[in-house]
Amino acid sequence: EACAAAMWADDSAVQGLEIRRLAIGPGLARLAMTIRPDMANGHGIGHGGFVFALADSAFAYACNSRNQRMVAALADIAFLAPARVGETLTAEAREVHLRGRSGVYDVSVYNEAGERIAEFRGHCRAIAGSVLPA
């Protein structure tokens, strides 16, 4: 939680998207975001880029939860169902593999009904330094 709080203070992206922290633990993160009208695409549904941003943020908080600075090396997402304007999405990130300087994390994104709407997989790589000041 201390790592998340340290990152959150400077994370303009999550603040601008009004993403909320629900839970953080070693290798885990759960974040939520409500799809606003300005996040809709030309079809009137949540733009996939915003769903990706929520999943990517959960990934970032999960992989940085052990006080080692980590950055994304690769990420992909499968959209399974649309996000609706006005609904709150929850992204749950979990560590799949962590060894040496590399990690793999899976993130499931759910709508308010508990239906999975996206699956994200992120690969991260450690960089110099720690999240918390020495």
pLDDT digits (tens, 9 = 90+) for 11-36: 999 999 999 999 999 999 999 999 99
Nearest alpha carbon to residue 77 among 100, 102, 106, 38 = 106
Average pLDDT of 66-75?
Answer: 96
Q: What is the largest CA-CA distance in the chain?
A: 48
Q: Residue 133 pLDDT more than 90?
A: no
Residue 33: predicted pLDDT: 98
- Say if strands 20-25 and 116-126 run parallel, antiparallel, or are unpaired: unpaired
Residue 1: predicted pLDDT: 87
Total residue length of the chain: 134
CA angle 48, 21, 126 (to 5 degrees): 80
In contact, 34 and 72? CB cutoff 8 Å: no
Supply 114's token pair.
């508990």
Chain mean pLDDT for the chain: 96
CA atoms of 132 and 91, how far apart (whole Å): 24
**CA end-to-end distance (rounded Å), the chain:** 16
Residue 134: predicted pLDDT: 74
